[in-house]
Amino acid sequence: MKQGHLVLADGTRFSGLAFGASGTAVGEAVFTTGMTGYEEVLTDPSYCGQILTMTAPQIGNTGINLEDAEARRPALRAFIVREVSELTSNWRAVQSLDAYLKKEGIIGLSGVDTRTLTRHIRDVGAQMAAVGAEDPATLHDRAKAAPPMTGQDLTGEVTTTETFEWSEGSGVWAEPRDSAQRWHVVAVDFGVKLNILRCLVDEGCKVTVVPATTTADEILAHDPDGVFLSNGPGDPAAVTQGVETVRDLLGRRPIFGICLGHQLMSLALGGETYKLKFGHRGLNQPVKDLATGRVEITTQNHGFCVDVDSLKGKCTVTHLHLNDDTCEGIAHVETGAFSVQYHPEAAAGPHDSRYLFRRFTDVIARQRS
């Protein structure tokens, strides 16, 4: 391994050993606190455009398998770890983390003091950065010249280009709750995690996946019983076509949104979004259901948030993040549309929130009866 560097836009530098693909990458430096699930994290399309730091100290010891991917290929710009395991030990593994990153063209950097890096991001905020084997001054120039995440619509980099049918459920990992495929759901792919589609199938849905640019009329031409709005990367306020599509769909079909889909629904209802200082990324985020008082431990991955005050008189806020009281869920009583900021499909993470998929099919059943 040769030496590499991560240089933030503010000039802070972290050095380590390069692994994975060679070259230079520029993106927003962020961190995730998940102790497990690095394969799902690597392939989560919501990390598009970002340089991701793992706070867990050793990454790669279970290698890479074919079952745990959340997308067909990773979309993040680079991967930062404290220690990359040279030993791969798992019966499902087909290759090492290093080999996988080389194959997918993703730059890795190990030997980094990820605790200090994480504390710096928490104190100063997520910011643009550059990583590679170039001299630190050049990397700093690249980081300073990079456009910020605010204002970027990155959904075009991760959405499907063609409509397709999805029929795979969770298989051995979960028993289907309804195998009859009673409901037809159109999932708008802004960067969807595959386990979301599996969870919809598990709830008895026939799933049609359409590109992010699909219009409301094109969606309704499939005659769906409900519409799902997926997670995805970038600034929700920049996804103007998606907001318009959701606005045109409201009241015409039941709608369920997750993450970016939640933000787009909020914008369509007249709300506003803003950028968080360092975001919520991890598997242990506490969320309170305001209707029941129940606390859920959730998986999250977002850098933008819906302004609670902007939703007053427009819809009901249903969930709040217990760490900072940010908006984690809304419901539009008039149309039955609802959404959450967090990831009920987890992958990886706790299953506290899987009930939301059944809530969606219950709304469909009521409106179709």
For each of the domains in the chain, give its residue range(s) and CATH number, in order of start.
3-145 (3.50.30.20), 155-368 (3.40.50.880)
User: Tokens in use for 41?
Assistant: 């994290």
How far, CA to CA in Å, does 95 sit from each of 8, 62, 72, 158?
31, 9, 16, 24
pLDDT tens digit sequence for 40-54: 999 999 999 999 999
| Partner residues linked to 27 by β-bridges | 129
* Catalytic (active-site) positions: 259, 343, 345
Enter the pTM of the model: 0.96
pLDDT tens digit sequence for 288-338: 999 999 999 999 999 999 999 999 999 999 999 999 999 999 999 899 999
- The residue type found at 169 is G
What pLDDT is attached to residue 134? 96
In degrees and rounded to multiples of 5, residue 85 shows phi and psi of -75, 125
pLDDT tens digit sequence for 219-251: 999 999 999 999 999 999 999 999 999 999 999
Residue appearing with tokens 């990831």: 343
